């Protein structure tokens, strides 16, 4: 499923892995039963590799961590939240192209 360099975010590690990260973090809120989420997986794997050292990719399984989904108002999946400095700076709902996601990451890094 996820590449080695993708963080599996949980209610327990979310503050340290995402909110306290010194790098921008793209968080994918997903579920096993979600077709578009599965289609997005390989794209996130590629981005995690390409952005090593510049940005991080994390995944939150909304079935396992409903509290995080509720905390961030996740109503549809996949929803991607881009965090920088512990704050959400961008939200993307639905399946997006790798190019669109790279643009978002590049803006966050700049």
Catalytic residues: 34, 37
Task: Using pLDDT thresholds of 50, 70 and 90, give the confidence band for residue 2.
Answer: very low
pLDDT tens-digit series, residues 33-92: 999 999 999 999 999 999 999 999 999 999 999 999 999 999 999 999 999 999 999 999
Query: What superfamily would CATH give domain 6-103?
Result: Glutaredoxin (3.40.30.10)
What is the DSSP annotation of 22-62?
A: SS-EEEEEE-TT-HHHHHHHHHHHHHHHHTTTT-EEEEEET
pLDDT tens-digit series, residues 26-46: 999 999 999 999 999 999 999
């Amino acid at each position: 499923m996820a590449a080695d360099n993708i963080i599996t975010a949980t209610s327990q590690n979310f503050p340290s892995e995402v909110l306290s990260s010194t790098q921008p973090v793209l968080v994918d809120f997903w579920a096993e039963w979600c077709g578009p989420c599965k289609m997005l997986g390989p794209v996130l794997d590629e981005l995690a590799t390409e952005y090593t050292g510049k940005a991080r990719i994390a995944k939150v399984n909304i079935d396992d961590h409903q509290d995080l989904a509720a905390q961030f108002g996740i109503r549809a999946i996949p929803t991607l939240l881009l965090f920088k400095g512990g704050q959400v700076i961008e939200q993307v709902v639905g399946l997006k192209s790798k190019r669109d996601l790279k643009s978002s990451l590049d803006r966050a890094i700049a």
